Amino acid sequence: MPTYQEWTDAQETASVVVDGHDLDVAYRDEGSGDPVVFLHGIPTNSYLWRDVIPPIEAERRVVVPDMLGYGNSAMQDGFDRSLRAQERMIDGLLAQLGVGTVSLVGHDLGGGVFLRYAAHNPDAVEQLVLSNAVAYDSWPIQRITDLGLPETARETTPEELGALLDDLFRETLYEDGASEEFLEGMTEPWNSETGVTSLVRNASATNTNHTTEVDPTAITAETLLLWGANDEFQAIEWAERLYEDIDGSELMGVDEASHWVMADRPEAYRDRLTEFLC
């Protein structure tokens, strides 16, 4: 699997207008065929999907962006990073890439973005995969609320934030012995004063209203709820509620997997996702 540096070396950049701001979006665009877009959550980036996409790239076009404020996308202060704004970013990016009908795979906040997108654009989304996604009023969790306090940006050094995130991932991955490459890829983008401020702004932009206003019954896409069954942040009960609301959806709980399901059980996750998409 690629290192984080190899992953970012393969990224391209597009400029997308969101709320009057010209903002750079870093993304990977590989493969050919019907497009699939993958979107991560907080505090991760597109490298989250490194173990998942190779067999899907062999069959379909795969687009994997960093959300605004994350990874190698725009991090400067002064723009909205909410789910609403990220949904507009996806709209603009897909238009630039000439993508019409699409399949979507979202985790955490990325799942919340795609929940909105699929409900707002039912004719444009053929398949939807949500993994440990924010939904209804399941979020924000206390850790993210605390991280989003303005004084956190002023009082936290990059080294302190890096240690905090390293501890977070090591504590919440299902088993000990986390991949050092995974940890580096999740923490490296925040290793600057700009990165610290950006992550704090991302956390402060979490807004429960951006999922409570969504009607999941409006989603017509073929839907798979592929969920880490041992998640302490977005419990599988939220997936069960989505299963009841999204007509014809399928729910699969991945055992011995926490919030970071694709890192905890990459083979099980990849196999079921590939079966669904390909």
Strand 35-39 versus strand 21-30 pairing type: unpaired
Question: In the sheet where 125-131 sits, what is the strand order?
Answer: 12-18, 21-30, 61-65, 35-39, 102-107, 125-131, 222-228, 250-254
pLDDT tens-digit map of 104-152: 999 999 999 999 999 999 999 999 999 999 999 999 999 999 999 999 9
| Partners of residue 106 on adjacent β-strands | 39, 130
Helix, strand, coil shares of the chain as percentages rounded to 5? Answer: 45, 20, 35
Largest CA distance in the chain: 48
HEC sequence for 222-242: EEEEEEECCCCCCCHHHHHHH
pLDDT tens-digit map of 159-199: 999 999 999 999 999 988 789 999 999 999 999 999 999 99
Cβ atoms of 142 and 269 within 8 Å: the answer is: no
Domain ranges of the chain: 4-277
Residues 208 and 59: their CA atoms lie apart, in Å, by 36
Q: Which residues 6+ apart lie within 8 Å of 78 measured at CB?
A: 21
Q: What percent of the chain has pLDDT over 90?
A: 97
Cβ atoms of 125 and 104 within 8 Å: the answer is: yes
- From the number of C-beta atoms within 10 Å of its C-beta (0-12, 13-18, 19+), residue 20 rates as exposed
CATH class of 4-277: alpha beta
Q: Determine the pLDDT at residue 177.
A: 79
pLDDT tens-digit map of 21-69: 999 999 999 999 999 999 999 999 999 999 999 999 999 999 999 999 9
pTM, entire model: 0.98
Angle at CA of residue 46, ends 22 and 14, nearest 5°: 25
SS3 call for 182: helix
What mean pLDDT do residues 219-223 have?
98
Q: How far is CA 258 from the centre of its chain?
A: 15
Peptide bond into 216 cis (omega under 30): no
Q: Please state the length of the chain.
A: 278
How far apart, in Å, do the first and last CA atoms of the chain sit? 21
